[in-house]
Amino acid sequence: MTLTANRGTLVEPSGTSERTAIAMALGFIGIDSGTAQGNCPAVWIDDEKKEVLFQGWKADDETKAVCVTDSPQAESEGIVRLPYRMVELIRRVRDEAEGS
């Protein structure tokens, strides 16, 4: 089953209606243009929750240790790395948010 989200198409594998509701709330913005089609950094927006979702490379322990000195990390939080070339996608998120 293919679901059309606000700004992209999401493919729904077998799942529950709750998963379908979540998928429909997310709008796919794009992926890192510098990587292959799979396993690459990506950006989504959730219009209902007014949030941005990032998929990126997990930060190593040394990087996380430096980051938490500026902003302590909750158990439910994580630090990911995104390449500079994704700035344009992040600007699209800003434009979408300002249009909401």
Rounded Cα distance between 63 and 85, Å, is 20
Is 59 within 8 Å of 79 (Cβ atoms)? Answer: yes
Sorted by sequence, the CB contacts under 8 Å of residue 73 that are 6+ apart come out as 64, 67, 79
pLDDT at residue 4 above 70?
no
8-state DSSP, 48: T
What is the per-residue pLDDT for 1? 28
Phi-psi region of 23 (alpha: psi -120 to 50; beta: other; left: phi over 0): alpha
Per-residue pLDDT of 48-89, as tens digits, reads 899 999 999 999 999 999 999 999 999 999 999 999 999 999
How high does pLDDT run on average in the chain?
A: 80
What is the per-residue pLDDT for 21? 63
Rounded Cα distance between 71 and 100, Å, is 29
Per-residue pLDDT of 82-93, as tens digits, reads 999 999 999 999
pLDDT at residue 18 above 70?
no
Instruction: Give Cα separations from 25 to 3, 38, 46, 48, 73 (angstroms).
Output: 10, 22, 6, 6, 26
